[in-house]
Amino acid sequence: MDDIEETAAVETVGERLRNAREAQGITLEAVAAQTRIPTRHLASLETSDWASLPAPTYSVGFAKNYAAIVGLDRAEIADQLRSEMGGTRVPYTQAEVFQPADPKRSMPKWLIISAIVAVLVVLAVLSLLRNRELDPAAAAPEAGAPATSTASVTPPAATLTPAASGTVTLTALQPVWFEVREKDGAVIHIGQLTPPETYDVPATATAPVMKTGRPEALRITVGGKEIPAIGPSGRSASNVSLLPADLVRGPAARPAPATGTPAAQ
């Protein structure tokens, strides 16, 4: 009889947790807030309502966290709960959704949807900008808009670059004497040409210049393209630049023909 009365007097895990909580004046909601365990599961622990609790592993974990809040021994509570549940609970066979936190603390659905929409809008804008960059028609200037192409700012000489890099050739139209010197005065050629003789200015010459008494008797080509006469008929010409670029740019790039008495051949 004494053994039966002693067994009946033993408190269950739920009773021990509830009594410890009430003795400290702690509400069940306060325990739920600190442990992040739903209030309904804590209430089921206190009443030993095993059918309303999730799997034993989770239930034992709930009890241990609850015990820590109210000052009871976690390991002792866990061992006692396993003993109680092992003899009274039917094996759990149905899958359950465990919700360890209060749903009110979850991120609102409208905020999640807004974030997704914002990301999609940004991606759409970036895709549109990229398509405009790759579309030649979109990059073309509108009608009436000021031209901004490099052609409008490219010096006129740029269009003559192919000819300006060619060989400078002097061809005698009449017997003519001429002299070619480098910038430092070194003589490259002195002599007379007789039709149809030609003379090619060395490409390695440094700023070559020419002097002749009959510029009209010479035909000058740059890369096979004939350039205008370098001086008026009957007047000598000196210090005429034989650089391809200067010849192609025309008279403005050359010194004025020497003045004085007509040069006699």
- Residue among 215, 197, 196 nearest 257 (CA): 215
Lowest mean pLDDT among 87-101, 118-132, 159-173: 87-101
How do residues 92-118 score in pLDDT, each as one tens digit?
444 455 555 555 566 778 889 999 999
Distance between CA 8 and CA 138 in Å, rounded?
88
**In a 3-state reduction of DSSP, which class is residue 95?**
coil
Any idea what DSSP says for residue 142?
P
How do residues 199-244 score in pLDDT, each as one tens digit?
898 988 888 888 888 888 888 888 888 888 777 777 787 788 878 8
Average pLDDT over residues 149-156: 49
Left, alpha or beta for 28 (phi > 0: left; psi -120 to 50: alpha)?
Answer: alpha
Count Cα neighbours of 151 within 13 Å in the Cβ-side half-sphere. 4
Q: What angle do CA 122, 125, 131 make, to 5 degrees?
A: 140
